[in-house]
Chain A
Amino acid sequence: MVDRQDALLAQMRRGTLQYCVLALLGSDELYGFDLVRRLAGVDGMLTSEGTIYPLLARLRRDGLVESNWQESSSGPPRRYYHLTDAGRAALEDFRREWGRFRDAVDTVIEGRGRP
């Protein structure tokens, strides 16, 4: 039962996590550890912290995010991420589509189908 629930969450997370990352970066410039901490605060968003980094590598490769080094007051310099214009556009597309998609799913699973 728990397994099935985990699998379901994993599947839903797979398609949406990258947009959650884009959304977080849309309002703030963040470094990896920070990003993980914010996602970990939201139930079910992140299973293991390390998996954020392959995702960031992919987003960077696709040109949706960029990173730059910044000095930190405590410890070594940090790699901060921010959205590119393409990243911002991808996030906007997702926001719009997600709203429609969520409404469509709600309509079906809550039985609010048209007569």
Chain B
Amino acid sequence: MSATADRLVAHYLKRLNRELRDVPRGSRREIVEEIEEHIAEGRAGLGEEDVTAVRVLLARVGEPEEIAADARQRLGLPPRGHGAREAFALIGLLIGGLAFVVGWFAGLALLWKSNAWTTREKLVGTLVVPGGLLPAFLLLGLGATQCGGGYENELTGPVEQNCTVTFSLPGQVLWTALLAVCVVGPFFTTIFLARRMRRPAAVDYQPSPGSA
């Protein structure tokens, strides 16, 4: 029994337990215990145990998400919709960048962990616009600095006037266009991802057939 294989199994069981968290405790414990026994039985049957064989074994047992979806359906529990995690992903991606940038990365991590979106949708979420609304705020800040600089030079002059002076016309157009993209992009992505969000494939819910 290699330590790496033990770790793989422990990690798998932990994931399974987490995925089953909305299943009543009694049933959850039964299911996890029996799958643990199943894995032990499978490992005992492996001639020479290597990590690859254990990985294959775990793959045959199935993805914890899939087993949990099946358990909810079998036990007559409502399917777990995409909830808190996905909502946090969207919020993080949109405005997390403003919270010292880390919020955006947190949103990004949640986005890629979730199975509510396809890889292509996740790419859109990542690239349009990296940092969420942060770039827009930086651009606004840039504009303000430019204006502010002018304002300090001519203490009595109105801000607007200084802005037009500081920015050349092409610069202004570029700035406005960029700002528009940086504001519209993140909102577009948030709406896009919210609409594309889906339930896990394994769960097209129907009440399980009643007992005889």
Which residues of A pack against B, CB within 8 Å?
10, 14-15, 18, 32-33, 36, 47-51, 53-58, 60-64, 74-76, 78-79, 86, 89-90, 93-94
Contacts of B208 in A (CB 8 A): 58
Q: Which of B56-64, B116-124, B164-172 contacts A (4 or more CB under 8 A)?
A: B56-64
For B210, the closest partner residue in chain A by CB is: A62
Instruction: Given A33-B38, A56-B34, decide whether A51 and B62 contact each other with a Cβ distance below 8 A.
Output: yes
Which residues of B pack against A, CB within 8 Å?
16, 27, 30-31, 34-35, 37-38, 40-42, 44, 60-63, 66-67, 70-71, 73-75, 202, 208-209, 211-212
Subset of 29 A-B contacts with CB under 8 Å: A14-B73, A15-B209, A32-B38, A33-B38, A36-B38, A47-B66, A48-B60, A48-B61, A48-B63, A48-B66, A48-B67, A49-B60, A49-B61, A50-B67, A51-B62, A53-B34, A53-B67, A54-B31, A54-B70, A55-B74, A57-B31, A58-B208, A62-B211, A64-B211, A75-B41, A76-B37, A86-B211, A90-B211, A90-B212
The one of A33, A53, A63, A86 that contacts B30, using a Cβ cutoff of 8 Å: A53
The one of A49, A55, A76 that contacts B40, using a Cβ cutoff of 8 Å: A76
Asked if residues A58 and B75 are in contact (CB atoms below 8 Å), the reply is yes
Asked if residues B37 and A78 are in contact (CB atoms below 8 Å), the reply is yes
The 5 closest A-B pairs by CB, nearest first: A48-B62, A90-B212, A54-B71, A62-B211, A50-B62
Contacts of A63 in B (CB 8 A): 211
For B23, the closest partner residue in chain A by CB is: A54
Q: What's the nearest-Cβ distance from chain B to residue A87, in Å?
A: 9
Bound-complex Cα distance A93 to B209 (A): 14
Asked if residues A58 and B74 are in contact (CB atoms below 8 Å), the reply is yes
Contacts of B74 in A (CB 8 A): 54-55, 57-58
Asked if residues A49 and B31 are in contact (CB atoms below 8 Å), the reply is no
Bound-complex Cα distance A57 to B211 (A): 13
Bound-complex Cα distance A18 to B40 (A): 24
Bound-complex Cα distance A32 to B61 (A): 12
Bound-complex Cα distance A51 to B70 (A): 6
Instruction: Given A50-B67, A53-B30, decide whether A86 and B44 contact each other with a Cβ distance below 8 A.
Output: no
Contacts of B67 in A (CB 8 A): 48, 50-51, 53-54
